[in-house]
Amino acid sequence: MADSLTLTGWLIMAMGLYSAAAGFGMAFSPERFQRMFADIEASPGINFITGLLVFSIGTAILLVHPSSARWPEILVAIMGWGALVEGLLFLAVPNVMWAIARPFLKANTRLWGIIALLLGIALVVFGWCEVRNSTVTLV
């Protein structure tokens, strides 16, 4: 079990791994990601499942993660709230979600993939430093 400091680091690393993996796929297989986004947008069922999953992840992060004035905790809270709101948008008004996302998806998938990959790597490194500098280890 992790204490609040290591939990913050592990959550940042998990979000970084997600961002890096998705970014890698977008950067090196942009056509596949374009097709995937088109499939998700076209299917009301997949939109609902996506919303439910993203909402659940955001809610779980907010429920288990303590909040404090340290900026790493604030970063995790922002990511949790972002996922919660994104999930609600997918559930309630998917057309609004896609209207927001579509310009980014069509602009340059490869570029956004590289940005996500680099951001993910930075988050993994930062999360690792957060865990490593913690005085408590996983038990």
Say which DSSP state 93 is in: -
**pTM, to two decimals:** 0.85
- Please check whether residue 137 lies inside any domain of the structure: no
pLDDT of residue 134: 73
Range of the domain at 42: 4-132
CA angle 106, 110, 113 (to 5 degrees): 100
Look at residue 5 in the predicted model and tell me its pLDDT: 59
Domain contains 121: yes
Is 95 within a domain? yes
Predicted local distance difference test score (pLDDT) of residue 51: 96
* Averaged pLDDT in 10-residue chunks for the chain of 139 residues: 73 96 94 91 94 97 85 92 96 93 83 96 95 65
Is 138 inside any structural domain?
no
Q: How many domains does the chain have?
A: 1
Residue 101: predicted pLDDT = 86
Question: Is residue 139 domain-resident?
Answer: no
| DSSP alpha helix (H) spans, the chain | 4-28, 30-42, 44-64, 71-92, 94-107, 109-132
pLDDT at 135: 60
